[in-house]
Structure 1
Amino acid sequence: MNFRFQNILGAPYRGGNAVISDYSLLSPVGNRVSVTELIKSQTITLPFEATCNISRIALSPDGNFLLTVDDQSRALFVNLSRRVVLHRISFKKRVTALCFSSDGSLIAVGLGKLLQIWRSPGFRKEFFPFKLVRTFSHCSAAITSLDWSPDSNYIIVGSKDLAVRLFFLKKTKADAKPFMFLGHRESIVGVFFSILKKTIRVFRIYTISRDGAIFTWNLDESVNCDDNSRGSISDPPAPGTPDRRNSDGETDEFDTGMEDRKRKMSSGGVDANMSETPLHKVKWELMKKDFFMQAPARLTACDYHRELDMVVVGFSNGVFGLYQMPDFVCIHLLSISREKITTAVFNRFGNWLTFGCAKLGQLLVWEWRSESYILKQQGHYFDVNCVAYSPDSQMLATGADDNKVKVWTVSSGFCFITFSEHTNAVTALHFMANNHCLLSASLDRTVRAWDLFRYRNFRTFTTPSPRQFVSLAADHSGEVICSGTIDSFEIFVWSMKTGRLLDILSGHEGPVHGLMFSPTNAVLSSSSWDKTVKLWDVFEGKGAVETFQHNHDVLTVVYRPDGKQVACSTLDGQITFWDPLDGVLMHTIEGRRDIAGGRLMTDKRSAINSSSGKYFTTLCYSADGSYILAGGSSKYICMYDVADQVLLRRFQITHNISLDGVLDFLNSKRMTDAGPLDLIDDENSDVEIGIDQQKRGNLGQGLPGSMLNMGRPIVRTKSLKISPTGRSWAAATTEGVLMYSIDDSFIFDPTDLDIDLTPEAIDSALSEAQHQRALLLGLRLNEDSIIKRCIFSVKTPEIAAIASSIPVKYLQRLMEVFSDLLESCPHLEFILQWCQELCKLHGNFIQQNSRSLLPTLRSLQKSITKLHQDLMETCSSNEHLLQYLCSTGTKTN
């Protein structure tokens, strides 16, 4: 039961801005943040959740802290190394821009027309760590971009009022208006300080507008534009800003901190004249205007790298450009898609460019010098309908409403192949037993077979008259392929070798949404909306062997791994268990109350009284058949004990209130005569939307009585699959494919504990070279690190003797430890010898208890197979080099 959230697949990017720290790329995915390790080629999703979709993220200069802000202006301050939320704060207006200062001590936040400067919490322990330092209210429209000077004393701000303003953070006696840069004809997208590399002194400013214009402003120190010469009038103090001076006129803590930072910058090599000539009191002249010439496309994203003096820009037509400044020399001008680029950013070294396209779910990292991709990922931009694990648990296939089939590597979270031959939604997937073939069924009236070696569609199964397929199954021998239809209520049977149609199974009077072969024989089980579950003998062709009647529509059917039980879910919220051998009803589970939860915006009744969605649409047995997972049109996934028919645990797949059906109670203040306020289009074209408002129904495969919600996406689970190893499971949800795995953190769960069983007793046994006793004590204590230490203390000649003395009740735990060691330990031969001796000496027990040990054996097989593949690739890649070295050495001799 110790499954914890691990990762999200199928949605690497959904909108907002991405940031990159050294070799880690952080991007928002709904209400979570995904971290992609570009060197390790691995992606993980941080465990915390925001209240709703994250719109802005900012990373501290040292890479230790992450600040996320969602659509409701609620911010989370996160420690990245620990992956925990340190502080929370809610801003009073919508956050349109966010940026840490150059030294990381301050945070600039654009709240509509207001610019607020907050003190960064850091590692200090305080009651309220966020402290408001300054508030500037000079902008007349929403702020769109921010940039700090290297000394963190100045901040330049661009807004939708076509103006750019330069603010001085230190509070003076006569707080004058900020210096303004005018001339742009559309809203500002980016503003950047440029510095002299030798002195790190600001001498140039770049401003970029939405119409594709970039203005270069140079510093002219010959003219001092002080307050009197400019004729500006001091503004009154901004509302909400506390006074930073006491009655004696002394500076406060913030001013003192700024002086300290200025002294540090000067001692670090910065020109001392920087403090003598304030940037807001000198003259800035417009040196030149340049245009990117991409009309009618609009500039949507940009970034600037100070050390390289380069600008990258992205446009609404999918084109991006890389320019050397200030000469405005175009280095690259390429197209990555036909949709709007929503984020473009440099990495710290300036050699990698990151681009994101929210509508396509596309995320790219491009090395511009070698013109090669470091990362190229694109998720499903419609709902994922089905998932399937490979037999070795190393791959996961997904099919979605965007007509695509994607295959992911479970360990890295990366998609390595996409099949796009289908012309309609993919509804079902199935891996063949040989692990090298994938089957997919679609509403485009075809069933296709994919070769995972050559990455091609090598066989297509069709019917004499067009039919839409919604379910799929194959026998263990791989000779027969079966698929159920939604329109003709038939089951079609093909030969895998020839592709010919062998038989048509008729008898159902409704769509066949569930289909599965028995794990032990060639009996096919099918479920339909005609309130029946039928068992078919496909090879004998004698029609339906058995029919199980129900009182409501049957939505799905699954076999237990040992083939001695069939589970099906019905429209009344029940899970019914049948004995397929004797044809008798074993027991039922009432799940209406367990899965109920969450109220739709369009529901007239409360979540308790509503009857919609209180049923399971997908079921999946565990690897050993002891429990079953069930999900449906709800925010919950339920785990039941099969033997006792009790609810073990409920997993809430998301807390994102941007999805419909998450809240149990709705706010009546947001209900108007025209309907819910959240479903009314405000026609704000500037709001970045990751996924277009689209139909969230089943596109032709909806349940009886189901209705389409034309507003916000509805939270639901469409498919559930447990890995053959039993260590993880995947759920195809509205948020993407959620991966849950057994938590690797330490949980004290001893097997046989008594007062004398302590770590000190194990250390004493190891010091006395009693390796057998130490290992048995470690297995009883069941602490992972101690068991591994005891294993490595055993000498190679002693392995056979100690393996023979291991009690059978500890055998499964020991094999789990070896499976984990094979993925991380360099002593491969030592571990493999342990595995060989255990299988040789305890083979009879393993064979007799194959059902309970099957998940562990599959996990061990997965580790050995992966190790074999890695060694094979390494040897094959070095084969020619070794031959060359051997031949060179022979010639030399």
Structure 2
Amino acid sequence: MNYRFQNLLGAPYRGGNVVITQNTQLISPVGNRVSITDLIKSQTITLPLQSSSNIRRIAASPDGTFLLTVDENHRCHFINTARRVILHRINFKNTVNAVKFSPDGKFIAVAAGKLVQLWRSPGFKKDFFAFELVRTIADCEDTVTAIDWSLDCKYLLVGSKDLSARLFCVEKLKDGILNKPFLFLGHRDNVVGCFFGYDKKNTNKVSKVYTITRDCYIFSWGYSGNNDGNFDENDGGISEPAFPGTPERDGEGNMDSGSVGTVKKRKDFDGKDEGYLHKEKWELLRKDGFMQSPAKLTACDYHRGLDMVVVGFSNGVFGLYQMPDFVCMHLLSISREKITAAVFNEIGNWLTFGCAKLGQLLVWEWRSESYVLKQQGHYFDVNCLTYSPDSQLLATGADDNKVKVWTVSSGFCFVTFSEHTNAVTALHFMANNHCLLSASLDGTVRAWDLFRYRNFRTFTTPSSRQFVSLAADQSGEVICAGTLDSFEIFVWSMKTGRLLDVLSGHAGPVHGLTFSPSNAVLASSSWDKTVRLWDVFEGKGAVETFPHTHDVLTVVYRPDGRQLACSTLDGQIHFWDTIDGLLMYTIEGRRDIAGGRLMTDRRSAANSTAGKCFTTLCYSADGSYILAGGSSKFICMYDVADQVLLRRFQITHNLSLDGVLDFLNSKKMTDAGPLDLIDDDDSDAEEGVDKQTRGKLGYDLPGSMPNRGRPIIRTKCLRIAPTGRSFAAATTEGVLVYSIDESFIFDPTDLDMDVTPEAVEEALDEDQPNRALIISLRLNEDSLIKKCIFSVSPLDIPAIASSVPYRYLQRLIEAFSDLLESCPHLEFILRWCQELCKAHGNSIQQNSRNLLPALKSLQKAITRIHQDLADTCSSNEYMLRYLCSSNNK
């Protein structure tokens, strides 16, 4: 039951800015969560932290330790990235359009509406008021859109929608006139980005300023000469405002370039004279156009070391330019949709691009013109998913007609199949782990080869049908698919692709289809309020029919094949004995899955009957509990034997989705209805997923509802991994993966006064590894179990393996599967596994149901190591042949 959120698949990027830390760590917002991708190891993880709504802006400290996130509700989280915990929270009063740490990490500049607030960055020290407002700059006449710090943290460059950019001195001086900013004027559209340029000889000295506008122009500014004058050291310096919340109004007023006169100088810490940049005589050096009209410039970034600018446009084109001569290095198109993020990495050899509408995230090496990362989520909601038999792969199908296969451990999609011409509704992995089946509304069932990544067989019908369910028998010889329109079940031969039979009898769409794990009996559920069992190989038609009082939505077999579970429209789960044909249990789940009120609901969540049913079921690996989900924010876990609710998983707390709140806010009610339903037609909206059409299954998809495109939270498919260590849920947020926490959980068995860690150490000192191993297994402490395993001599493994009681086998096998993931002593662990199988083979075979999750985990670890060794041996063999052939020559 100790499942914890592990990862989020299916939507690598949904909008907002992205940042790169430590040159290889790509951090991007995914809905109301944050995803971190290691570009070297090709792994992605999603932090188990949630904001109250979709994240708009993120910023990382220079060393990558801290992360700042701001969501659509202006709520900010200050996160320790390494520990994955939220350290502090704060709310801003206005919409945050830009946020950036200072280069030394001591301050944070936040563009909140028309204001620029400077906050002192919290650290590891625990403070009651962690965020300290140092200064508020209120000079801009419209919303601030861009911020940039100088390397010495003394100056701040701010761009806004008032068609200007301003250069501020961060230090507050006693002479109020010196605090007035310099204005860069002459822009004809909003300033999208503004950056400090640096001297090539002295990379720490500001020599230029670049401002980039939405109408596809870049302005290059420079200053000439230093002004004369002496500076009194007692006339300036840093001072804090008496009240941090009071805006600093010293800088109000406009100043053009003609009003800049001579200013005083001050001595820097090195004893050299330094003029104030915002008092220098800046002039426009050149104005260059990107020539992409009528497209708009939507994203940009500047790399000071290379003096290069990367820009992205609303037509999917990006450009890379060498400054200050404005030489175009690359001009390419990566999509037809708007580029919402463009950023350099620290070295400058990689470019990262994001496209919110396509859920696409690209990392491109511009020198070699090759992709480092290319990830794209499903365009629409995921309809179905399935695990491979070894639990290493996860396949997903969606309304965008695509099938994607993901590596569970890395969170990466390594292949996408797009041959279907309509929504993919069902998936099934064959037992050989290398063949994937998919059913679609386009009237085809396709078989995919995961070795050659191709569609090697297509199953069709004489007349076009819409398939919504799919199943294959254990031998892989027969493929069955249920239809939405003709209410039939079609049966094909896997080897020949020929249509063998058509099973008729249902009077409604066949939405559930599954083969018994123990025999060749096929179970089907339909909206005609029945579950039917079919003998496919004998061809005798329906063997038995289980009637219900409401429409049956889905059906699933227990792993041993002796029990059948199905959910009905009235919110109940029925459990049938497949041998005697009797109803065993019934679980009433209406109240368990209820929760969440839609914006368009006229009734409260407690009085509404809509969506109070389970549309997907999944048994655990040992069949002791069952997972159930539907049109709700909850996933319910039930104990089958006792028919009790064990746990409810709330899949999201994202208020940007509909159906999360139980009670609507009465303050947002107007005469015209809920405030969130009133469309303001904001044509100048920031990045995000554009409005989409209605789904091909007839469901409302994200962007198509009348509530301004707020997706409705729901769970469409649930699957537990064959190892039992994790389960995946296809939800509106994406594919959520939950796994058992790897940290130690104190679950002792057979404890006694003498069963202590000291007793284990004493047994090891007395050279009694058998006794030490038994005591550690009774304590159930992971570190002690592994220590005792390694204390056994290889010659003593057979004797000790045979003396281990059966009730400790599962815990010992789990320890071996964990060790295989990280331990270098491969032969030693495999010898242990071999001797355990020899000594307890009969017990394992008789009680395979209870040991199945642990054995699946062990098989997964051994398979992965076998593949790695096979690749290494093949490479070594090739190298040896090459060396031998070169020596002969």
Deviation sequence 1:61-116 (CA, Å, 0-9, x none)? 11110000000100000001111000000001111111111111111111111111
8 A Cα contact 2:677 2:707, kept in partner? no
* Aligned equivalent of 1:191, options 189, 194, 198: 194
1:327 deviates by 1.4
Q: Please state if 1:94 is matched with 2:95.
A: yes
Deviation sequence 1:496-522 (CA, Å, 0-9, x none)? 111111111111111110000111111
8 A Cα contact 2:137 2:248, kept in partner? no
Match of 1:11 in 2: 11
Question: Within 2, Cα distance between the matches of 1:531 and 1:745?
Answer: 45
Q: Please state if 1:788 is matched with 2:786.
A: yes
8 A Cα contact 2:676 2:707, kept in partner? no
Q: Please state if 1:221 is matched with 2:225.
A: yes
* Aligned equivalent of 1:840, options 833, 838, 841: 838
Match of 1:180 in 2: 183
Question: How do 1:137-286 and structure 2 match up within 5 A?
Answer: 137-176=138-177, 177-199=180-202, 200-223=204-227, 241-242=245-246, 266=269, 272-273=272-273, 276-286=274-284
Match of 2:759 in 1: 761
Q: Please state if 1:80 is matched with 2:81.
A: yes
Question: Within 1, Cα distance between the matches of 2:123 and 2:201?
Answer: 30
1:124 deviates by 2.1
8 A Cα contact 1:679 1:712, kept in partner? no
| C-alpha distance 2-241 of structure 1, shift in aligned 2 (>3 A) | closer
Report the AA paired with residue 402 of structure 1: D
Question: Within 1, Cα distance between the matches of 2:461 and 2:708?
Answer: 34
1:695 deviates by 5.3
Match of 1:588 in 2: 586
Match of 2:50 in 1: 49
Deviation sequence 1:120-160 (CA, Å, 0-9, x none)? 11122211010111111111111110000111111000011
Report the AA paired with residue 215 of structure 1: F
Deviation sequence 1:684-727 (CA, Å, 0-9, x none)? 23323432233576723799xx9987741000000000000000
* TM-score normalised over the length of structure 2: 0.94
Deviation sequence 1:743-792 (CA, Å, 0-9, x none)? 01121111222222222221222222221111111111111111111111
1:829 deviates by 0.6
Report the AA paired with residue 602 of structure 2: K
Q: Please state if 1:716 is matched with 2:714.
A: yes
Match of 2:289 in 1: 291
Question: Within 1, Cα distance between the matches of 2:518 and 2:861?
Answer: 26
Q: Please state if 1:123 is matched with 2:121.
A: no
In the comparison of the two structures, how many residue pairs are matched? 858
Match of 2:335 in 1: 337
Secondary structure of the residue aligned to 1:356 is: strand
8 A Cα contact 1:216 1:289, kept in partner? yes
| C-alpha distance 522-702 of structure 1, shift in aligned 2 (>3 A) | farther
| C-alpha distance 225-748 of structure 1, shift in aligned 2 (>3 A) | farther
Question: Within 2, Cα distance between the matches of 1:688 and 1:842?
Answer: 63
Match of 1:683 in 2: 681
Superposition RMSD in Å: 2.1
Report the AA paired with residue 95 of structure 2: R
Deviation sequence 1:341-382 (CA, Å, 0-9, x none)? 100111111111111101001001111122211111001021
Secondary structure of the residue aligned to 1:221 is: coil
Secondary structure of the residue aligned to 1:145 is: strand
| C-alpha distance 221-755 of structure 1, shift in aligned 2 (>3 A) | farther
| C-alpha distance 220-710 of structure 1, shift in aligned 2 (>3 A) | closer
Report the AA paired with residue 8 of structure 1: L
Match of 1:670 in 2: 668
| C-alpha distance 293-500 of structure 1, shift in aligned 2 (>3 A) | same
Question: Within 2, Cα distance between the matches of 1:764 and 1:196?
Answer: 68
8 A Cα contact 2:135 2:247, kept in partner? no
1:239 deviates by 11
Q: Which segments of 5 or more consecutive residues in structure 1 lack a partner in the other structure? A: 228-236, 246-261
| C-alpha distance 696-558 of structure 1, shift in aligned 2 (>3 A) | farther
Deviation sequence 1:809-861 (CA, Å, 0-9, x none)? 11111001111111111111111111000001110100110111111111111
* Aligned equivalent of 1:578, options 576, 579, 583: 576
Report the AA paired with residue 853 of structure 2: P
Match of 1:805 in 2: 803
| C-alpha distance 426-609 of structure 1, shift in aligned 2 (>3 A) | same
| C-alpha distance 517-225 of structure 1, shift in aligned 2 (>3 A) | farther
1:324 deviates by 1.2
1:466 deviates by 1.0
Question: Within 1, Cα distance between the matches of 2:695 and 2:658?
Answer: 13
Report the AA paired with residue 208 of structure 1: I
Deviation sequence 1:272-313 (CA, Å, 0-9, x none)? 33xx30111111111111111111111110111111111111
| C-alpha distance 702-333 of structure 1, shift in aligned 2 (>3 A) | closer
Report the AA paired with residue 334 of structure 1: L
* TM-score normalised over the length of structure 1: 0.93
Question: Within 1, Cα distance between the matches of 2:312 and 2:858?
Answer: 47
Secondary structure of the residue aligned to 1:173 is: coil
Deviation sequence 1:649-671 (CA, Å, 0-9, x none)? 00000000100000011011212
Secondary structure of the residue aligned to 1:714 is: coil
Question: Within 1, Cα distance between the matches of 2:809 and 2:199?
Answer: 67
1:170 deviates by 1.6
Secondary structure of the residue aligned to 1:115 is: strand
Question: Within 2, Cα distance between the matches of 1:10 and 1:410?
Answer: 12
Question: Within 2, Cα distance between the matches of 1:726 and 1:272?
Answer: 68
Q: Which moved more, 1:287-296 or 1:718-727?
A: 287-296
Q: Please state if 1:31 is matched with 2:32.
A: yes
Deviation sequence 1:215-246 (CA, Å, 0-9, x none)? 1111223457999xxxxxxxxx999744999x
Secondary structure of the residue aligned to 1:846 is: helix
Question: Within 1, Cα distance between the matches of 2:34 and 2:699?
Answer: 32
Question: Within 2, Cα distance between the matches of 1:693 and 1:672?
Answer: 24
Question: Within 2, Cα distance between the matches of 1:498 and 1:225?
Answer: 92
Secondary structure of the residue aligned to 1:484 is: strand
1:493 deviates by 0.9
Match of 1:254 in 2: none
Question: Within 1, Cα distance between the matches of 2:129 and 2:87?
Answer: 11
Secondary structure of the residue aligned to 2:225 is: strand
1:444 deviates by 1.0
| C-alpha distance 708-860 of structure 1, shift in aligned 2 (>3 A) | farther
Match of 1:432 in 2: 430
Match of 1:631 in 2: 629
* Aligned equivalent of 1:657, options 655, 658, 679: 655
Report the AA paired with residue 213 of structure 2: S
Secondary structure of the residue aligned to 2:824 is: coil
Match of 1:534 in 2: 532
* Aligned equivalent of 2:726, options 723, 728, 746: 728
Question: Within 2, Cα distance between the matches of 1:186 and 1:468?
Answer: 50
Report the AA paired with residue 219 of structure 2: F
Match of 2:311 in 1: 313
Secondary structure of the residue aligned to 2:347 is: coil
Deviation sequence 1:615-660 (CA, Å, 0-9, x none)? 0000000011000000000000000001110000000000001000
